[in-house]
């Protein structure tokens, strides 16, 4: 079995790494070099976390969400102990609440959300929660940023890996990929997506935004809106990643140690974990 797995892994690695000239040229033609201007702005990042004890059938867990700026000043914080099977949906609900609470604030220039806008728009409840601030999303005050992505485009339809893998491999300069526009949610909620690099040789990020209702932006290609967004983020980056999102990620994380403490408080520390029979 181990030999078979190694053989499959070697085959997959070879197909992923060996890229034809045709594919490489196609990627490079779709990369736009751009050196962002470092605007001094108030940028806030939102992230959430969830975890639960590894006890079979135990559906109580912890969910947290925070929003912080580059100085780790807190704009929003929510922490819940809940009885629910899908903790990820609750974490998204807290993020949607944070977006609603912060998007209308005049002292915040840009709001960055860790993750994809698709996870909100594909959920009726979450989509409805964002309706009161949908205009702020269309004005690009709220952007969605992902460190990883499994999305594939026409560039990778014949390749084994997702777009972001090849953008990381084939490019090194600051800039962004030619934006793509998704119309699956209708003309009123078109999504602009692109892959961006904020510092040279840093990892590529996926960025998504809701398109404006201005048809001129869509007709002329929304590259100027991407440039404006990069300008807003460039001044608050740490190693190519927005500092507000980094701080939010570090401060919101619910670790295994946190859950161990919770188990002790709940009196469940002596319960057998769901995987213990395999150990």
Q: Is residue 57 part of a domain?
A: no
Q: Is residue 278 part of a domain?
A: no
Q: Is residue 263 part of a domain?
A: no
* Banded pLDDT at 277 (limits 50, 70, 90): very low
Residues 6+ apart with CB under 8 A from 36: 174, 198, 227, 230, 231, 233, 234
Number of domains, the chain = 1
Q: Is residue 16 part of a domain?
A: no
DSSP tag of 54: -
Report which secondary-structure segment, H or E, holds 263. helix 256-266
* Banded pLDDT at 8 (limits 50, 70, 90): very low
Q: Is residue 166 part of a domain?
A: yes
CA–CA distance, 13 with 6 (Å, rounded to integer) = 10
pLDDT at 109 over 80: yes
CA nearest to 49, candidates 98, 88, 101, 99: 88
CA–CA distance, 91 with 48 (Å, rounded to integer) = 6
Task: Return phi, psi of residue 183, to 5°.
Answer: -110, 20
pLDDT in tens, 136-179: 999 999 999 999 999 999 999 989 999 999 999 999 999 999 99
CA nearest to 19, candidates 167, 145, 144: 167
Other residues' Cβ atoms within 10 Å of the Cβ of residue 145: 22
Mean pLDDT of the chain: 86
pLDDT in tens, 59-83: 678 899 999 999 999 999 999 988 8
* Banded pLDDT at 274 (limits 50, 70, 90): very low
Token pair for 42: 């108030």
Q: Is residue 78 part of a domain?
A: no
Residues 6+ apart with CB under 8 A from 21: none
Span 114-121, average pLDDT? 95
Cα-based distances in Å from 7 to 2, 159, 204: 9, 19, 30
Q: Is residue 15 part of a domain?
A: no
Q: Are 197 and 174 in contact (CB under 8 A)?
A: yes
CA–CA distance, 98 with 74 (Å, rounded to integer) = 11
Helical packing angle, 163-170 and 21-29, nearest 10°: 90
CA nearest to 33, candidates 217, 177, 201, 224: 177
Q: Is residue 10 part of a domain?
A: no
What range defines the domain where residue 105 resides? 27-45+88-252
pLDDT in tens, 28-46: 999 999 999 887 789 999 9
Give me the sign of the Cα torsion angle 194, 195, 200, 203. positive
Confidence (pLDDT) at 222: 82
């Amino acid at each position: 079995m181990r030999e078979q797995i190694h053989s499959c892994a070697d085959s997959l690695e070879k197909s992923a790494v060996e890229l034809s000239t045709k594919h490489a040229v196609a990627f490079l033609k779709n990369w736009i070099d751009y050196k962002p201007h470092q605007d001094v702005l108030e940028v806030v990042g939102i992230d959430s976390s969830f975890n639960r004890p590894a006890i079979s059938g135990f559906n109580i867990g912890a969910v947290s969400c925070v929003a912080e700026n580059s100085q780790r000043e807190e704009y929003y914080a929510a922490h819940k102990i809940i009885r629910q099977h899908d903790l990820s949906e609750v974490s998204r609900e807290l993020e949607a609440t944070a977006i609603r609470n912060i998007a209308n604030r005049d002292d915040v220039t840009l709001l960055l959300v860790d993750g994809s806008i698709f996870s909100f728009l594909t959920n009726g409840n979450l989509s409805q929660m964002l309706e009161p601030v949908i205009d702020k999303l269309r004005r690009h005050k709220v952007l969605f940023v992902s460190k990883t992505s499994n999305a594939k485009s026409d560039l990778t339809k014949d390749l084994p890996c997702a777009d972001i893998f090849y953008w990381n491999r084939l490019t090194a300069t600051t800039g962004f990929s030619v934006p793509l526009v998704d119309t699956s949610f209708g003309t009123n909620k078109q999504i602009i997506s692109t892959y961006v690099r904020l510092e040279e040789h840093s990892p590529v990020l996926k960025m998504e935004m809701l398109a404006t209702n201005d048809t001129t932006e869509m007709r002329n290609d929304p590259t100027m809106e991407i440039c404006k967004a990069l300008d807003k983020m460039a001044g608050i980056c740490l190693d190519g990643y927005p500092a507000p999102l980094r701080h939010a990620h570090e401060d919101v994380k619910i670790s295994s140690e946190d859950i161990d403490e919770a188990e002790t408080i709940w009196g469940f520390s002596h319960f057998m974990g769901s995987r213990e029979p395999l150990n």
